[in-house]
Structure 1
Amino acid sequence: MLEADVAVVGAGAAGLSLAHRLARRAPGERRVTVVLVEAPPGPLRPPPRTWCYWEAGPGPADAALTASWRRLRVHGPDGTAVECDIDPLRYKMLRSDDYECLVARDLERSPDVRRLEAAAESVEAVDGGAVVHARTAEGRPRQVRARWVFDSRPPARLPAGRTTLLQHFHGWFVHHDRPVFDPDVVDLMDFRTPQPAHGLSFAYVLPTGTGRALVEYTEFSAAVLDAPAYEKALRHYTGEVLRLRERDFAITATETGVIPMTDAPFARRTGPGVFRIGAAGGATRPSTGYTFAAVQRQTRAVAAALRAGRHPLPPPAHSARSRAMDAVLLRALDSGRVDGAAFFTRLFARVPPARLLRFLDGRTRLHEDLSIGLRTPVLPMLRSAAELPFLPRRPAPLPGAPRPPRPAPHTAGPPRSERNG
């Protein structure tokens, strides 16, 4: 049995970030020993994925970035473009395999961190801590005993919430022989996509050169699409909107994902010495799906507590006020009272970009939140807020559940009117 002060279960963004912070011990700091339990190659290990976030100045992952930008653009459904400079922030693109390589180099040099390639099966509370029961790829059982366990594995099911939407997406990494992309500007949300009858859709373009980009189609809705539907949506966007002929570019890789967007509360503690971190601990922002920046705040606080010898309960990833605003927006979108495409386009057109990104990251003050709220459709939002206390919390659908027959989408065109009913 391995023993350590801390066991980190899972090597996604949260697990790697926490292990990385604990591996970098400054002179004079308290030593914290760590075992990182990561799934062997196979179905339990997530495929490579892209994380995007914004921050001011240099950050701990900068050496692994694919690209970064200071200009963002949003296209409304009618084609109207809003372009903005987000200085002093930078919008950053990070591939998970590049981040894993960056972290691995530091973990190898650290005498405080050991890595165990095994699939965690359960976490058992014991006197003075907990034991992680795991199994190697060859089927051999392994155990790790630790004072504190931080579990970042996805929960078996989502907690019950009043509103749950799924942000689901499929993207192409595109290589074009001609300079068809502007490498200085990210198309963050392009609503020139056929809008579903329920929810919203958009595309985004992350250019990594004049001929290379990640082009991704995204929906916020109750259930995922099948593979042909995603491919059809991307062919429509690249062909009809970007005006790229399919024979002129190569698709070098793809990525697909599902992010639950829910107002359900996530438990941050599941035992006396067992905690949940990352998306499993509520780090995903319910209204946007962004997670990576909140993971960094969460793991920074946990590492600081462990170094100081304090109780390391992860702090809430988002403030109570932010979660309350997200619950209202999710209800407004799910009820159809607010047209999501018009809503987000209006925010980017009317709110200073740096302030809006701080708002989306939950870093604004109350008076800033109120000023932004006045730029939203007030009556539908107020009605959604008023009915929230009376809505029951229900078990949320699991990502990937079978999708009911899809109604015919609206064609791309002028924004649908926002309903006050």
Structure 2
Amino acid sequence: MSPPATVDLALVGGGGAASLVLAALDRQDLSGVRVAIVDPVHKRGQDRTWAFWGTPGSFLDPLLSASWDAVDVITPAGHRTLPLHPLRYAMLRSAPLYELAGAAEQRLGATRITAAAARLDDDGSHVTVRSADGSPLVRAGWVLDSRPRPPARPGRTDWLQHFRGWWLEADGPLFDPRRAVLMDFRTPQPARGVSFGYVLPVSDRFALVEYTEFSPAVLSGDEYDTALRGYLRLLGIDEATVRVREVENGVIPMTDGVFEARPSPRVVRLGTAGGATRPSTGFTFTAMARQAGRIAAEIAAGRPPLPGPAYPARHRWMDAVQLRALDRGLTDGVAFFGRLFDRNPPERVLRFLDGATSWREDLTLMASSPLVPMTRAAAGDAAARLRRRGRGPGSGRPGDAHRS
């Protein structure tokens, strides 16, 4: 058997996180850097949609399906239109990102290995990526691993953002393409959790309409479809006047569990496995793009490809407290999110969710939340941390986490 190819950097997994890394590497002068992609499937076409906020003018702008300068947040108590300047809310479908990554892969002269990686053997100077039968696939100086995996330590609170979306096409003008609906809380609320509708119009006749829950467990397919039909009625849309062109489903962890971002000296995890998913909302894309840019800049500077934490430690603590308050029923989810947007500029809330606010702004955000329930949640979180610390690393107790 011939020895495996040796490269400087191997990307294990070829989805959104790896595509963003390839695009970021392509924007740097990296002549001589050898790259490999290891994935059993060469991602192409449309398999997901990302929605995110950011400042216009990035390399992603030509790839966007739509963007909005204002979004709506709707509760039973009222309708708010939130101006986002200087930010904007944007939609990116996977096909153009995969195409961009494919072009970057060609320009970088990357090696593609169409196989599943089973083991990453790190000897401290190189990592050997192996298949299920132990055969070496590639030997790399560094490995960026974006394959999904659960947290290394279960959270004290483990919820999910789970959803189903219908891409709807109408015969005549039906949607307002100037504004997206970020959260519509008029949907029936689950016994434990928060639900909302979501509308991303690409044109006046084509839009993604979603039903989303933040809760401990997923629904059945029929339950998602029933919820979506109910939401269409809330929007005043006659189901007979639209056609479902595509269906999207997703499940994203919302947990204060600890993800092991660097499991060995030369292996770095990306995406959700690397802590890029925001525990309080499930949003991931902006942090993945930020990680990719940092990795490419570090490689261009001749340094190890380490992206750093996706979010400040204080934000992860704030998210843990919020999750606990919702999970224990200490605060009403609809009222919590409505109050957050009522008492803060929307641009500040969105920057907080991206991990970009200052200490002073974070204190202002905390002051705008309901004081008594959040104080109780913070005290409970502190007590749970102390109990877990007393039992030692990796230990757990039934009741500390609702889903493992």
In the other structure, the counterpart of 1:407 is none
Alpha-carbon displacement from aligned partner over 1:280-331 (angstroms, at most 9, x marks no partner): 1000010011111101111211222222222333300000111011011000
* Counterpart among 301, 317, 323 of residue 308 in structure 1: 301
Matched residues in 1 for 2:45 and 2:102: separation?
A: 17
Shift of 1:367: 1.2
Which deviates more, 185-194 or 97-106?
97-106
Partner of 2:363: 370
Is contact 1:205-1:213 (8 Å) kept?
Answer: yes
TM-superposed CA distance for 1:348, in Å, is: 1.5
Identity level (%): 46
- 2:72–2:183 contact (8 Å) kept in structure 1: yes
Say if 1:329 and 1:381, in contact at 8 Å, map to a contact too: yes
Query: Matches of 1:14 and 1:318 in 2, distance apart?
Result: 16
5 Å-filtered alignment, 1:351-366, equals 351-366=344-359
- The match for 1:320 among 309, 313, 320 is 313
Residue matched to 1:344: 337
For each residue in 1:138-167, what CA deviation from the matched residue of structure 2 results, as whole angstroms up to 9, or x when unmatched?
x99561100101100011566311111111
- In the alignment, does 2:219 pair up with 1:229? no
Structure 2 unaligned runs (5+)?
389-395
Change (3 A) 1:253 1:142: farther
Rounded to whole Å, the distance in 2 between the matches of 1:203 and 1:248 is 19
Give the secondary-structure state (helix, strand or coil) at the position aligned to 1:300.
Answer: helix
Match of 1:21 in 2: 24
1:90 corresponds in structure 2 to 88
* Greater CA drift, 150-159 or 168-177: 150-159
Partner of 2:391: none
User: Aligned-pair distance for 1:396?
Assistant: 6.7
Cα offset, 1:342, TM superposition: 1.2
Q: After TM superposition, which residue ranges in structure 1, 4 or more long, deviate above 6 angstroms? A: none
Matched, 1:264 2:257: yes
What TM-score do you get using the length of structure 1 for normalisation? 0.88
Given the alignment of the two structures, is residue 168 of structure 1 paired with residue 174 of structure 2, yes or no?
Answer: no
What residue in structure 1 maps to residue 48 of structure 2?
Answer: 49
Q: 1:100 aligns with which of 92, 98, 101?
A: 98
Cα pair 2:150 2:259 within 8 Å, conserved: no
2:37 is aligned to: 36
Q: Whole-Å Cα distance in 2 between the matches of residues 38 and 106 of structure 1?
A: 16
Deviations 1:175-232 (A, max 9, x none): 0112111100010000010000101100100001111110000001111000000000
**1-side partners of 2:27 and 2:179: how far apart?**
34
**Secondary structure of the corresponding residue to residue 88 of structure 2:** strand
Q: Is the 8 A contact 2:9 2:140 kept in 1?
A: yes
Per-residue CA deviations over 1:347-397 (Å, capped at 9, x if unaligned) read 222211111211121111111111121111111001100111222455673
Q: In 1, distance between residues paired with 2:174 and 2:45?
A: 32
Q: Secondary structure at the match of 1:348?
A: helix
Q: 2:134 matched to 1:131?
A: no
Q: Which consecutive residues of structure 1, in runs of 5 or more, have no partner in the other structure?
A: 399-421
- After superposition, the Cα gap between the structure-2 partners of 1:61 and 1:369, relative to the gap in structure 1 and judged at 3 Å, is same
Aligned residue for 1:243, secondary structure, equals coil
Contact 1:48 1:97 in 2 (8 A): yes
- Counterparts of 1:134 and 1:35, CA distance in 2: 15
Label 1:156 to 1:5 Cα distance change in 2 as closer, same or farther (>3 A).
Answer: same
1:119 equivalenced with 2:116 (yes/no): yes
Check the 8 A contact 1:269/1:313 in 2, yes or no.
Answer: no
Deviation, 1:47, is 7.3
Contact 1:173 1:253 in 2 (8 A): yes
Please, which of 168, 172, 197 is the counterpart of residue 203 of structure 1?
197
2:207 maps to which residue?
Answer: 213
* Shift in alpha-carbon separation, 1:308–1:395, aligned structure 2, 3 A: farther
1:37 partner letter: V
SS in structure 2 opposite 1:268?
Answer: coil
Q: Tell me what 1:285 maps to.
A: 278
Structure-2 separation of matches of 1:362 and 1:21: 20
For 1:392-407, list aligned pairs within 5 A. Answer: 392=388, 393=396, 397=403
Q: TM-score, normalised to structure 2's length? A: 0.91
RMSD: 2.1
Find the residue that maps to 2:131 and give its secondary structure. strand
Aligned-partner residue type, residue 86 of structure 1 = L
1:11 matched to which residue of 2?
14
What code does the residue aligned with 1:397 have?
R
Contact 2:252 2:282 in 1 (8 A): yes
- Post-superposition shift, 1:40? 2.1
Mapped contact 2:183–2:196 kept (Cα < 8 A): yes
1:99-128 CA distances to partner (integer Å, 9 max, x unpaired)?
1012212222223x2222221121111352
Q: Secondary structure at the match of 2:65?
A: strand
How many equivalent pairs are there? 388
